[in-house]
Amino acid sequence: MKYEIFYKGAFAMLKVQLSAGETIKAESGAMVTMSPNMDLKGTMDGGIMRGLGRMLSGETFFFQELAANRGSGEVLLAPQSIGDIEAIELDGSYTLLVQKDGFLAGTSGIEVNTKMQNLSRGLLSGEGFFIVEISGRGTVFLASYGAIHAVNLAHGEEVTIDNGHLVAWPSYMNYNIDKASKGWLSSFTSGEGLVCKFRGEGVVLVQSRNPAGFGNWIKRYIPGGR
């Protein structure tokens, strides 16, 4: 399987070339074009319980499964939001934790599940009690709102990340929820409330735009919006 990402940044699109017999699964509605010899069907991938779990984490109940059953073919995939696409190679040694709507597509060895966060992280992290957990061996394609930037942390190094900008991070990295500024008044007036503080070693992917921030901004221009 070969792939190429076009128009990186704001309007990214993924091209995947499949050899005969290869398959790829994608979020529902991701297919833009496909070769006439490709087969497309909806699948729950793991059954009803996994489908329900994905819904709780903000993903769709069904996936698209695109298969090159009648010879090699090509598909174009795109996320629903305006943003970037990043390819991550998983070797099976760790799982990847991903924001809501972050999964775009994955090769046949990739599994998409849900992970339940503890009470404090569920309430305060901005991701909810359930987040997407991606495991297995193969390539996973992540989607973001805005461009994707990798924050590389050495062992013991720390970084503070606004939770609205999180895209993905490896499960072996730990993070804590804290105030962005000292004191609640300072956090409120600075426009930064609760944030996630990560400690390395590891790589955290962030997005250049905050969906909630954009929603608040656009409301100012809608008649009657608040």
Average pLDDT, the chain: 83
Residue 225 covered by a domain: no
Q: Indicate whether 126 pLDDT > 70.
A: no
CATH (domain of 193): 3.60.160.10
Q: For the chain, how many structural domains are there in total?
A: 1
Query: At 164, is the secondary structure helix, strand, or coil?
Result: helix
pLDDT single digits (tens) 189-219 = 444 567 889 999 999 999 999 888 878 878 8
Q: What are 140's strand-pairing partners?
A: 88, 106
pLDDT single digits (tens) 54-81 = 455 455 557 899 999 999 999 999 998 8
**Can you tell me the distance from the alpha carbon of 221 to that of 114, in angstroms, rounded to the nearest whole number?**
36
Contact 86, 160 (CB under 8 A): no
Residue 158 covered by a domain: yes
Residue 7 covered by a domain: yes
Provide the domain limits for residue 66: 2-219
What are the start-end ranges of the E strands in 68-188? 73-77, 85-91, 96-98, 103-107, 110-116, 130-143, 148-153, 158-162, 166-170, 174-179
Predicted pLDDT of residue 10:
86
Q: Indicate whether 104 pLDDT > 70.
A: yes
